[in-house]
Structure 1
Amino acid sequence: MGVKKVITVLTVITIFTMLPTLLAGCGKSSDTGQTLRYVLEAEPATLDPAKSTAIPESLVELQLFEGLTRLNTQDQPVPGVAEKWDVSPDGLKYVFYLRNAAKWTNGDPVTAYDFEFAWKRALSPELASENAYMLFPVKNAQAYNEKKVTADQVGIKAINDHTLEVTLDKPTAYFLSLTAFHAFYPVNKKIVTASPDKWSAEVATLVGNGPFKITGWVHSSKIEFAKNDHYWDATAVKLAKMEWPISDSQSTRLSLVENNQADMMVEPPVVEHDRLTQAGLLKISPYLGIYYYVFNTQQAPFDNVKVRQAFSQSINREALVNNVVKGGKKPAYAWVAPGLSFDGKDFRDESNNYATENKAQAQKLLAEAGYPAGQGLPPITLLFNTGEMHKSIAEAIQEMWKQNLGVTVALSNQESKVFLESRSQGTFQIARASWIGDYADPMAFMDVFTDPGNDAKYHNSSYNKLIEKAQSTLDQPVRLTAMHEAEKLLFDDAVIIPIYYTTQPFVVKPSVKGYFWSVLGLADFKTAYIEK
C-alpha cells in the first residue's frame, strides 16, 4: 500500500471470497503442534501500527494486534476487542464496550485507556504518523494533528477500563470498518511509554493483543510467532506456531515452498504461472488495488504538466500486461480500482476512464514543453524498490519512453525501507507505487492526493474541494459525481501513470486450510490450520 491512508463513507459490496474459512469442529484442526510457514516478501520497516505504511508490515501486525473490530471473510467489520457498541441516532457518538477477557501478550488487560493513548499518539504532531488522517473523522482529530487544539479536546475518551467513547465531527458510515485498520490498533500504554522509540523493534517489548505473539525476529531473515494464549478468542486459533522467512526475491520465495521449506508465498515469477497452475499450486485472489507510477510534481522536469502528460501517453499498457506482468492483471486507465458497485453499476465503468495512449500527441506535448524529441531534458531517473517484477516493468517502460519519446531514463532501485523514505521525503522524480484500498469505497483511493502530505507533492484546491464535498454528504449521487470530477482532475494534471489493476497471485500447499485472504491485500491466519 501507499504512503498515505484515506477516509470515506463505506459502501457495502458483495465480495467473492475465494478462500475457505475454518468450520467449527473440523477434525484435524485441533492439532496444537501445527506450524505454518509463510514467506514474507520484505523486511518490515516498522511494526509500530501508528507508523507502518506497507503491506508486509500490515500483514505481520494483523497477526499480532486486534482493533475494536476485525474484518470477517466478507471484509465487513465484526466485534474484535469490543464485544458490542452503541451508536447515537445522529451518528456522531460511538460507545464501545471492551471484552473483560481482552489481554496483552504479557497478561496485562487491554483497556479503553490503551485505545485512547494509542489513537491520540497516532494523531500527535510529534509522532508525525503518515496514517494520522485515517483518524480525522474523530472530533478535533485533525485540529490536534495540526497543533490547533490540545489532546484533551479530541473526541476520544476512556470512561473506564472497559468503555471507550468516541465523538465524530460528522456522521461517518464507514467508521466501524476503519476501527479494524492498523492505525486504530491499541498499544500497551505502559510498554510504549517506557520505550517510545524502540518498543516495536525488539521481541521482548513488542507486546500485542492479537491471535499470535512474536517470539523471534532476525532482521531481514525471519520472524517467528507463537499462539497467544492470552488472546480472548484463543480457542479459535489452531496453529501453535508460525515461521516466516523473509525474501524480496520471487524466485527464492517459490523455491522455499517447492523445496518444502515453506507453505505459502505471494507473487511467484510470471514465467512459472502456467506450470504452477497445472500443478494445482497457483491461486489468484481478488485484490482492490492499482500499480502505478507517481510523478514528483515539484521536481524538474515533471514540474511541467506537459512533460508529465507526454510521459504518461507514451506507454502501452496492454503490451506491458500481456508480455511482462500477466498474473490475471488488467490494464489501468484510471485511478480507482474496479469492484466497487453502486446501484448495480461499477464506479470504474469504462466510460469513466481518463488515461490515454497517443505517441504522436505525446511527442507534440514534449515539444510544446520545450524539449523536442527529448532534447534539453535534464537527467531523469525512475525509482523503484527492489523486486524482479518491479525491475521488469521499469525496463519495459524505459524502452517505451526511448522508442516513443526519444528519452533516455536511468533506473534506480532501493530496498523497501529506503525506498519508502525516498517517496515520503520527495527525493525522486518519478517512482513506482501501488495502492490497496483499506475499505470498499472509491474514497479509499480518492483521498490519497489531497493536501497535506501526498507524495506527488500535488496541490490543487479544486481537487481538495471536490473531495471535501464527497466526504461531507451521505447523498450517494452527489458523492459519486464529485469523486468522478476529482478523478478526472488527476489526469488533466497528469499526477500519476496508472499501469494495471492488481490481483493477488499466490502459491499455497493444498494442506493449508482455514485462512482468509482479504480483497484488501492481507492474509488472516487466525483460524488457519494444516490438514494432515
Structure 2
Amino acid sequence: MKRKKLISCILAASLLASSSLVGCGQKTGDKGGDTSAAKVDKEQYINCNLGAEPKTLDPSKGTDIYAAWILAETMEGLTRLEQEDGKDVVKAAGAEKWEHNEDGTVWKFYLRDYNWSDGKKVTAEDFIYSVKRTLDPKTGAPYANLLYVIKNGAAINEGKAPLDSLGMKALDEKTLEITLESPCPYFFQITYNKTFVPQRKDIVEKYGDKYGAEPDTMVYCGPFNIKSWTHNSEMVLEKSDKYWDKKSVKLEKVNMKIIKDESAAYNSLYSGSLDLGGVSKKEWIEKFDKTGKFNNLQGYKPGASYIFFNTKDKLFKNANVRKAFSIGVTRDDLCDVIFKGRQKPAYGWVPPTVLVNDKEFRAEADEPIKNLIKENQDPKELLSKGLKELGMDPDPSKLTVTFLQAGTDQWFRTYAEYLQEMYKKTLGITLKTEYVEWPVFQKKTDEGKFELASMSMSGDYNDPNTFFDGFISATAYVPTFWKNEEYDKLTTEAQNIMDVAKRLDNYKKAEKILLYDDAVIAPTGFPTRNTYVYKYVKNLMTPLFGTTELKYTYTDGRSK
C-alpha cells in the first residue's frame, strides 16, 4: 500500500464536495488575504462538513482526503497551493524562497523563522526526519512513493539502502537541500503535499502508535491548531497564535462537522448551520437558487470514481472476467441516475483538466473503454469466456459476487441496488453487497478480503502521474494486487523524462494496459461539483488540486 487521497465513492455524489471542495479552481470574495479595507464580522468562524472521520492525522500514514484537508490547515510545509486569477499557484510557506541547479536535480529551500504550537522552532531537520520516517519501511507509510523522486528514496523504502543515504541534508538550521534521483517534471508541484510537512521526532516517539489519533498527540505549525476532536461528530480548529503569518488569518474558529447523510447535510446548509456545501439533487438546487443567498461554484474536479477488482481472487484473477465487469457498467445511466448529473461518464482513467505541461491529457488520448466496448458487444459472452478459462460453470446466472461498499447509509444502499440491477441486466449475475464504514473498508481492501469494490480518487498535483503511480507494482496504493512489468516501465520512465511528447505517449500506453488490456479497474465517472457558498463567505480558495484553502477566508455580513 502507498498513498493517495482515496475516498469512499460518495465523493462523486455530493457530501465530499461539501467537505473537500477539491474542484475547478475558483475563489469567492476578494483577491488575496488582505482584508484591511474590508468590513468583517466581529465573530469570525466558518462551519464546514468534513464528511467522514479521518482514519489518522499522522502525516506519514494518512491516505484519505479528510485527513489531507485537516493537515493542510494545521501544518505548514515547504509551500502552499493557492490561487491567482482562477489559476493554481504554488506559493511560499515554510520556505520563504528556493533555488535549483540547471537541470533541476538539486534544490535548496530557505526556511523562514516559524514555530511549532508549543513554541519550538521549525528546523530543516524536522523536514528531513519527516521524509525519512515516511520512507522508512518500518513505518508502512502509504504515501512513500511520492518521495521516490528524492535520491535513494525508493531504495530506502524497499529496504535496499540505509536511511542516512537519503538525498536530503540540512546545510544549517534553516537551509534544506534536496537532491533528486533525476530531473523530475513535477517535483515542485508536490512540495505543498503533506509528505513535505515537517514532523517532530520527540513528539512522534513520545506517542508512538497514538500519534495522530487525538489532538493532544500532535504539535502544529500551520494557520490553525486542532482544539477538539469528537470522533464521528465534529472537529474544531482554532487560529494559532504561533503561526508566522497570523495577521493574514481572520477566522478564529473552523467547525468541521462530520455529516454523512445527504439530506441532513442539505438541511444544515439551507438552515445556515453549514456555510458551504455540495448539492446534487435537482429539487435542492432549485431551492438553494431561489434564496439568492449563495454563490454557486461549478466545474470538473481532478478526480475519478471507479470499481476495482481483487486480482488475487479466484474469479477476478481472470482478465476477461474483469473486462466483462467493466463494460457491463452502464456509465451514462449511472452518472445520470445515481450521481444526478454531477459526474460525467468515464471511459478513460485520467480526468479532464489534467495537463502534461500545457496539453490536456484527455484531449490527446483515446478512451480505452470505448474501444473495449466496441470490440465486445455482449458483456455476458465475454464473462462466459472468462469463466470457461477458469474452469468454472460458464453460465453467468449461476454466479454470485459480493460487492464491498464503503458506507452504510441510504446513498450507498441506493448505489448498490442500482449496481445489482445493472449487473443482473448486463451480465446476468447475482450481486450481493457488504456494507461497512470507511475505516473497515480500508482494512478489508488492504488485506484483500473482497472481490470487487468502489472508491474515488482525487489527484495530488496537475500531472497524469498522480493517477498512474497508484498501480506501479512496487508501491501500489490501490489494492488490486496487480502487477505488470510493461506498465511499471512506462510509468516510471515517464516520471523521469522531460520530453512532453514522450511522456504523453508513455501515459497513453499505460492507460491502455490498465483499462483495456488488463482491465484492472473500471472507471465509472469524472466528478464535477455544484457547490453552494453563502455570499458572506469571502476569500475561500478552492484550488483545482490540493484541498480548500481557509487561511485567508473570512465572513462579512453573516447576520444580514
TM-score (norm. length: structure 2): 0.88
Cα pair distance change 1:97/1:155, threshold 3 Å: same
Residue-pair matches, total: 523
Q: What is the CA-CA distance between 1:375 and the residue it aligns to?
A: 4.3
Q: What is the CA-CA distance between 1:71 and the residue it aligns to?
A: 0.8
**What CA RMSD, in Å, does the superposition of the two structures yield over aligned residues?**
2.3
The reply to whether residue 112 of structure 1 matches residue 116 of structure 2 is no
CA contact (8 A) 2:305 2:526 kept: yes
The aligned residue for residue 420 of structure 2 is 398
CA contact (8 A) 1:238 1:528 kept: yes
Calculate percent identity across the aligned residue pairs.
34
Secondary structure at 2:267 match in 1: helix
Q: What is the CA-CA distance between 1:26 and the residue it aligns to?
A: 5.0
Secondary structure at 1:524 match in 2: coil
The structure 2 residue matched to 1:228, chosen from 240, 243, 264, is 240
Cα pair distance change 1:393/1:274, threshold 3 Å: farther
Secondary structure at 2:149 match in 1: coil
User: How far apart in 2 are the matches of 1:368 and 1:46?
Assistant: 43
User: How far apart in 2 are the matches of 1:377 and 1:457?
Assistant: 23
CA contact (8 A) 1:327 1:505 kept: no
> Bigger shift: 244-253 or 51-60?
244-253
The reply to whether residue 320 of structure 1 matches residue 334 of structure 2 is yes
The reply to whether residue 273 of structure 1 matches residue 285 of structure 2 is yes
The aligned residue for residue 270 of structure 2 is 258
User: How far apart in 2 are the matches of 1:397 and 1:219?
Assistant: 31
CA contact (8 A) 1:199 1:205 kept: yes
The aligned residue for residue 9 of structure 1 is none
Summarize the alignment of residues 117-132 of structure 1 with structure 2, pairs less than 5 Å apart: 117-132=129-144
The aligned residue for residue 112 of structure 2 is 99
Q: What is the CA-CA distance between 1:451 and the residue it aligns to?
A: 0.9
Q: What is the CA-CA distance between 1:18 and the residue it aligns to?
A: 4.7
Q: Deviations along 1:250-275, whole A, 9 cap, x unmatched?
A: 22222222223221233555652333
User: How far apart in 2 are the matches of 1:31 and 1:119?
Assistant: 40
In the TM superposition, structure 1's runs of 4+ consecutive aligned residues that sit over 6 Å from their partners are none
Summarize the alignment of residues 97-496 of structure 1 with structure 2, pairs less than 5 Å apart: 97-100=110-113, 102-267=114-279, 269=281, 272-280=284-292, 281=294, 282-341=296-355, 345-349=359-363, 352-356=366-370, 357=373, 360-369=377-386, 370=388, 371-377=393-399, 379-386=401-408, 388-452=410-474, 453=476, 454-491=478-515, 492-496=517-521
Q: What is the CA-CA distance between 1:95 and the residue it aligns to?
A: 1.2
The reply to whether residue 17 of structure 1 matches residue 26 of structure 2 is yes
Q: Which amino acid aligns with 1:456?
A: T
> Bigger shift: 22-31 or 407-416?
22-31
The reply to whether residue 513 of structure 1 matches residue 550 of structure 2 is no
Secondary structure at 1:196 match in 2: helix
CA contact (8 A) 1:325 1:393 kept: no
The structure 2 residue matched to 1:81, chosen from 89, 94, 99, is 94
CA contact (8 A) 1:5 1:134 kept: no
Q: Which amino acid aligns with 2:139?
A: L
CA contact (8 A) 1:35 1:241 kept: yes
The reply to whether residue 525 of structure 1 matches residue 550 of structure 2 is yes
Q: What is the CA-CA distance between 1:296 and the residue it aligns to?
A: 0.9
User: How far apart in 1 are the matches of 2:536 and 2:299?
Assistant: 18
TM-score (norm. length: structure 1): 0.93
Q: Deviations along 1:299-326, whole A, 9 cap, x unmatched?
A: 1211111111111111211111122212
CA contact (8 A) 2:100 2:107 kept: yes
Q: Deviations along 1:86-116, whole A, 9 cap, x unmatched?
A: 211231111111101x111111111111111
CA contact (8 A) 2:74 2:224 kept: yes
Secondary structure at 1:94 match in 2: strand
User: How far apart in 1 are the matches of 2:495 and 2:219?
Assistant: 35
CA contact (8 A) 1:43 1:56 kept: yes
Higher relative contact order (CA 8 A, sep 6+): 2
The aligned residue for residue 42 of structure 1 is 52
Q: Which amino acid aligns with 1:38?
A: C
> Bigger shift: 448-457 or 57-66?
448-457
CA contact (8 A) 2:2 2:144 kept: no
Q: Deviations along 1:405-457, whole A, 9 cap, x unmatched?
A: 11010112211111122222222111111111111111111111111234111
The aligned residue for residue 12 of structure 2 is none
